[in-house]
Amino acid sequence: MADRGSSALRPEHPISRSLPHLVEDFGFEHRGAPVADVVSGITISSKDVHPGDLYVGLKGVRFHGASFAEAAREAGAVAILTDDEGAEIAADSGLPIIVTPEPRLALGELAAWIYRTREDPPTLFGVTGTNGKTSVAYLLEAILRQLGITAGLSTTAERRIGDETIVSKLTTPEATEIHAMLARMREADVRSVVLEVSAQAITQHRVDGIVFDVVGFTNLSHDHLDDYGVMEAYFEAKSELFQPDRAKRGVVIVDGDWGSRLVAQSRIPLTTISTTASTEADAEWVLTVDEETVDRTYFTLRGPDHREFSTSVPLLGSYMAANAALAIVMLVESGFDLEAIAHALNEPRDDENDADYDPDRVPGIDVYIPGRAEKISGDEGPIVYIDYGHSPDAFVSTLESIRRVTDGRIIMVFGADGDRDPSKREDMGAIAARLSDAVVITDFHPRYEDPAAIRSVLLKAAREAVPERELHEVPDPRAAFRAALDIAGENDVILYAGPGHEDYHEVAGERIPYSARDDARNALHEHGWL
Residues of the chain with CATH 3.40.1390.10: 17-115
Q: Could you write out the DSSP letters of every residue in 438-480?
A: EEEE-----BTS-HHHHHHHHHHHHHHH-TTSEEEE--SHHHH
Give the separation between CA 324 and CA 146, rounded to whole angstroms. 14
**Residues 524 and 378: beta-carbon distance below 8 Å:** yes
- The arrangement of secondary structure in 17-115, i.e. its CATH architecture, is 3-Layer(aba) Sandwich (3.40)
Give the separation between CA 65 and CA 323, rounded to whole angstroms. 39
Domain 374-526: CATH superfamily is Mur ligase, C-terminal domain (3.90.190.20)
Local confidence pLDDT in tens for the 530 residues of the chain? 333 344 468 999 999 999 999 999 999 999 999 988 999 999 999 999 999 999 999 999 889 999 999 999 999 999 999 999 999 999 999 999 999 999 999 999 999 999 999 999 999 999 999 999 999 999 999 999 999 999 999 998 899 987 788 887 766 789 999 999 999 999 999 999 999 999 999 999 999 999 999 999 999 987 767 777 898 999 999 999 999 999 999 999 999 899 999 999 999 999 999 998 665 668 999 999 999 999 999 999 999 999 999 999 999 999 999 999 999 999 999 999 999 999 999 976 555 555 555 656 788 999 999 999 999 999 999 999 999 988 999 999 999 999 999 999 999 999 999 999 899 999 999 999 999 999 999 999 999 999 999 999 999 999 999 999 999 999 999 999 999 999 999 999 999 999 999 999 999 989 999 999 999 999 999 999 98
**Residues 127 and 333: beta-carbon distance below 8 Å:** no
Give the separation between CA 84 and CA 80, rounded to whole angstroms. 12
Of 44, 47, 22, the closest CA to residue 114 belongs to: 22
SS (H, E, C) 387-420: ECCCCHHHHHHHHHHHHHHCCCCEEEEECCCCCC
Q: φ and ψ at 24, to 5 degrees? A: -70, -45
Beta strands 510-513; 504-507: pairing state: antiparallel
Q: φ and ψ at 256, to 5 degrees? A: -110, 170
**Residues 499 and 388: beta-carbon distance below 8 Å:** yes
pTM of the model: 0.92
Instruction: Compute CA distances 259 → 79, 150, 231, 322, whole Å.
Output: 45, 31, 13, 14
- The arrangement of secondary structure in 123-346, i.e. its CATH architecture, is 3-Layer(aba) Sandwich (3.40)
What residues are paired with 194 via a beta bridge?
125, 153
Residues of the chain with CATH 3.90.190.20: 374-526
Residues of the chain with CATH 3.40.1190.10: 123-346
**Residues 99 and 28: beta-carbon distance below 8 Å:** yes
**Residues 87 and 97: beta-carbon distance below 8 Å:** yes
